[in-house]
Amino acid sequence: MRSLWRFDSPRHRSQKTGYWFILPYAVFFGAFVAYPLVFSFILLFHRWNVVTPMEWIGLKNFERLLSDPLFFKAIMNTLKFLLIHIPLQMVVALGIAVLLNSRLKFRGFFRAVFFLPVVVSGVVVTILWQQLYAFDSGLLNRMLSAVGIGKIPWLIDPDMAMLSIALMATWKNVGIYIILFLVGLQDVPRELYDSASIDGATRARQFFRITLPMLRPTFVVVVVLSTIGGFSLFVEPYVLTGGGPMESTLSAVLYIYNQAFYFNHMGYAATLGFVFALIILGVVLLQRKVIETEPMT
Amino acid sequence: MKAIIKYVSLGLGAVIFAYPFLWMIASSLKPEAEIGGFGLWSPHFTFSNYAQVTERIPLGRAFLNSIIVSLSSTVSVVVFGSMVGYALARLQFIGRGTLYAIVVFTMTLPFQITLIPQYILMVKLGITDTYLALVAPTLMTAFSIILFRQFFLYVPQALIDAARIDGCSELRILFRVIWPLSRPVVITVSLLTFMSSWNEVLWPLIVVRNRSLMTMPQLVTIFTIGGEAESLLGLQLAAATLLALPIIITYSFFQRYFIESMASAGIKG
């Protein structure tokens, strides 16, 4: 890489221009990244409702967090979401990607349709699914009743609600992962399949022995992006359930939002944000490590 | 036989992904009593839901606000992002490596940690309930800087040298020589920024309470959950359709770019 800019000249001009070019970003970084980071750290040790002066409370925010059932509830809800969301998304996305990767007419059309929910606002998708999930008048339940399965309490049953949100989120996001798997599939060298065929390996065996292992980098991306997505859930529970029933769909970000803007607990909300961020980083690092080292198949 | 199974399952998938949107648009045009139906057709199609919803909430104004916010954010991200990307890729200055490390660090930082302090900054600056507050934290993104840098690394040095010999300033080189060669990355960054800005709900909900400044997704969200819709389905679906249409129309024109953008973004991200 270095040789690319070896001929830059005159050097001092480049030096000065460089600083001019990054100046706007330096200002932006100072105001919207560095300052908030420092301030977030200060908030961790204070109680504050924005109006009255800040009050130093030491580690009370952390003590409170460790004995806050809703904090743990939000984590469990997110894990429940991810437990459904990640495997479902992988199977559906990979399945569709394999189909799209074969010889096919209208490939562009199919790809475009599967990707449509990705570009549309989460608010639209949520309003739409609210109609699909409605208990009595919802399209899904009326369809299920018609075929004799009966109604499902999608959003009413606390055990069910988060799963319903995971299903909806999969519908919305799977298009991204179809595209990522398609790119991954196209990167698998053809010769691998050719030589495997000569050796008499069946299509299924080729899929498990060649395709899946070669897609490992894609799996990492899918798992990491889904996890970040799970911890960032907001609009879906905010509009669909308000976090209920019985806090069963309270997400991490919704809980931060409620603490900050419903109860005006800025210090505690910042502590929640800080701890959730650490959890996200920890989980993502762990996932990377596991998927990158775990033998596949 | 195999081909039939393939087309049937893809066709079924396409129905699952597209039909809800078609149903939403069709139902928004039906009178309230007919909305429960599965069908896409009604002999009583009417625009009355649209008339009512635009009467109850200032959707026109919200549309304008969203355009202003999304466009300023996009222009800023593309202009300043490409400047930093260019500096990181092609200019020599002390601290460049550190800056790059900072940008990468910023990209991996979960937004949950800066959300509350950023809001407090807006309060302290006294700019809540302004356009500035809506766009400020989105004026530059670490992600776009990294995409630009990556792309600019592969622009031939000879072109830059030739422009310098002709006496071009570095700004001119960036916008007149590099940009025309970098259309894919400029389009990628523009589309992704515009889309995420257009669809953003959380930040507007936090910094704007004044209805005349609300963005479209924010206003529709508040309308839906705030009881103003009086659980009239038709109104909610009409509002949702109006919110979805601009993006769907843009998408139908630039579909290929959207998908390719997402692919390149996801892989580098």
Instruction: Please compute the mean of the pLDDT values over residues B13-40 and round it to a whole number.
Output: 86
Q: Does A5 score more than 60 pLDDT?
A: no
Q: Does A30 score more than 90 pLDDT?
A: yes
Given CB atoms, is B259 within the 8 Å cutoff of chain A?
A: yes
> Are the beta carbons of B117 and A37 separated by less than 8 Å?
yes
Q: Which of A22, A61, A227, A272 should we substitute to test contact with B (largest number of B Cβ atoms within 10 Å)?
A: A22
> Are the beta carbons of A276 and B17 separated by less than 8 Å?
no
**pLDDT recorded at residue A274:** 94
The percentage of residues in chain B with a pLDDT greater than 90, rounded to a whole number, is 52
**pLDDT recorded at residue B266:** 63
Residue B244 pLDDT grade (very low, low, confident, very high; cuts 50, 70, 90): very high
**pLDDT recorded at residue A216:** 87
Of the two residues A207 and B119, the one the predictor is more confident about is B119
Q: Does A6 score more than 50 pLDDT?
A: no
Residue B269 pLDDT grade (very low, low, confident, very high; cuts 50, 70, 90): very low
SS3 state at A291: helix
Of the two residues B33 and B166, the one the predictor is more confident about is B166
In this structure, the number of other CB atoms found within 10 A of the CB of residue B182 comes to 21
Q: Does B199 score more than 80 pLDDT?
A: yes
Of the two residues B176 and B269, the one the predictor is more confident about is B176
Given CB atoms, is A146 within the 8 Å cutoff of chain B?
A: no
The pLDDT tens digits for B38-74 are 777 777 788 888 988 888 889 999 999 999 999 999 9
Residue B258 is nearest to which of A50, A119, A238, comparing CB atoms? A119
SS3 state at B232: coil
Find tokens 């050097």 and name the residue. Answer: A11
How is domain A68-293 classified at the CATH fold level?
Answer: MetI-like fold (1.10.3720)
Q: Does B92 score more than 50 pLDDT?
A: yes
Q: How many Å apart are CA B225 and CA B236, to the nearest integer?
A: 10
How far does A15 lie from chain B, in Å, by closest CA?
Answer: 4
CA distances from A101 to A106, A181, B6, B33, B210 (A): 12, 10, 11, 44, 49
Q: Which residues of A touch B117 (CB under 8 A)?
A: 35-37, 39-40, 43, 270
User: Is the C-alpha dihedral spanning B145, B148, B151, B152 positive or negative?
Assistant: negative
> Are the beta carbons of A139 and B201 separated by less than 8 Å?
no
Phi-psi label, residue A102: left if phi above 0, alpha if psi -120 to 50, beta otherwise: beta
Domains along chain B with CATH numbers: 1-46 (no CATH), 56-268 (1.10.3720.10)
Residue B49 CA from chain centroid, whole number: 27
- Ramachandran angles phi, psi of B114, nearest 5°: -100, -5
Given CB atoms, is A269 within the 8 Å cutoff of chain B?
A: yes
Candidate ranges A13-27, A202-216, B43-57, B106-120; pick with highest mean pLDDT: B106-120
**pLDDT recorded at residue B36:** 73
Q: At what angle do helices B59-90 and B216-225 cross, to 10 degrees?
A: 130
Q: Does B233 score more than 60 pLDDT?
A: yes
Using an 8 Å Cβ cutoff, are B56 and B223 in contact? yes
Write down the mean pLDDT value for chain A. 87
Of the two residues B247 and B38, the one the predictor is more confident about is B247
Residue A242 pLDDT grade (very low, low, confident, very high; cuts 50, 70, 90): confident
Q: Which of A123, A203, A221, A263 should we substitute to test contact with B (largest number of B Cβ atoms within 10 Å)?
A: A123
What part of A 172-201 touches B (C-beta under 8 Å)? 175-176, 179-180, 182-183
How far does B6 lie from chain A, in Å, by closest CA?
Answer: 7
Q: Closest residue of B to A259, CA-based?
A: B116
Residue B112 is nearest to which of A122, A124, A276, comparing CB atoms? A276
Residue A64's contacts (CB-CB under 8 Å, 6 or more residues apart) are A268, A271
User: Is the C-alpha dihedral spanning B106, B107, B108, B112 positive or negative?
Assistant: positive
Residue A256's contacts (CB-CB under 8 Å, 6 or more residues apart) are A269, A272, A273, A276, B112, B115, B116
**pLDDT recorded at residue A3:** 43
What is the β-pairing status of strands A46-47 and A55-56?
antiparallel
Residue A28 is nearest to which of B112, B140, B224, comparing CB atoms? B140
Residue A39 is nearest to which of B9, B120, B239, comparing CB atoms? B120
Q: Which residues of B touch A175 (CB under 8 A)?
A: 17
Given CB atoms, is A104 within the 8 Å cutoff of chain B?
A: yes
DSSP string, A76-138: HHHHHHHHHHHHHHHHHHHHHHHHHHSS-SSHHHHHHHHHHHHHS-HHHHHHHHHHHH-TTT-
Q: Does B263 score more than 50 pLDDT?
A: yes
**pLDDT recorded at residue A1:** 43
How far does A159 lie from chain B, in Å, by closest CA?
Answer: 23
Given CB atoms, is A53 within the 8 Å cutoff of chain B?
A: no
Q: Which of B10, B103, B116, B216 should we substitute to test contact with A (largest number of A Cβ atoms within 10 Å)?
A: B116
The pLDDT tens digits for A168-185 are 999 999 999 999 999 888
Instruction: Please compute the mean of the pLDDT values over residues B210-230 and round it to a whole number.
Output: 87
Q: Which residues of A touch B13 (CB under 8 A)?
A: 96, 110, 113-114
Given CB atoms, is B64 within the 8 Å cutoff of chain A?
A: no
Q: Closest residue of A to B90, CA-based?
A: A5
Reported ipTM: the value is 0.89
> Are the beta carbons of B258 and A115 separated by less than 8 Å?
yes
**pLDDT recorded at residue B201:** 93
Instruction: Please compute the mean of the pLDDT values over residues A262-284 and round it to a whole number.
Output: 92
**pLDDT recorded at residue B68:** 96
**pLDDT recorded at residue B219:** 94
Domain boundaries defined on chain A: 2-61, 68-293
> Are the beta carbons of A33 and B115 separated by less than 8 Å?
no
Q: Which two tokens stand for residue A204?
A: 């299924």
The percentage of residues in chain A with a pLDDT greater than 90, rounded to a whole number, is 42
Q: Which of B112, B151, B152 should we substitute to test contact with A (largest number of A Cβ atoms within 10 Å)?
A: B112
A47 bridge partner residues: A55
What part of B 118-157 touches A (C-beta under 8 Å)? 118-121, 123, 136-137, 139-140, 145, 153, 157
Write down the mean pLDDT value for chain B. 89
In this structure, the number of other CB atoms found within 10 A of the CB of residue A58 comes to 10
Residue A295 pLDDT grade (very low, low, confident, very high; cuts 50, 70, 90): low
A46 bridge partner residues: A56
Residue B101 pLDDT grade (very low, low, confident, very high; cuts 50, 70, 90): very high
The pLDDT tens digits for A188-232 are 888 888 888 888 888 888 888 888 888 888 888 889 989 999 999
DSSP B130: S
**pLDDT recorded at residue A61:** 87
Given CB atoms, is A99 within the 8 Å cutoff of chain B?
A: yes
The H or E element that residue A55 is part of is: strand A55-56
> Are the beta carbons of A260 and B119 separated by less than 8 Å?
yes
Q: How many Å apart are CA B79 and CA B192, to the nearest integer?
A: 14
Q: Does A127 score more than 80 pLDDT?
A: yes
**pLDDT recorded at residue A172:** 94
**pLDDT recorded at residue A4:** 47
DSSP A207: I
Instruction: Please compute the mean of the pLDDT values over residues A55-82 and round it to a whole number.
Output: 90
The H or E element that residue A56 is part of is: strand A55-56
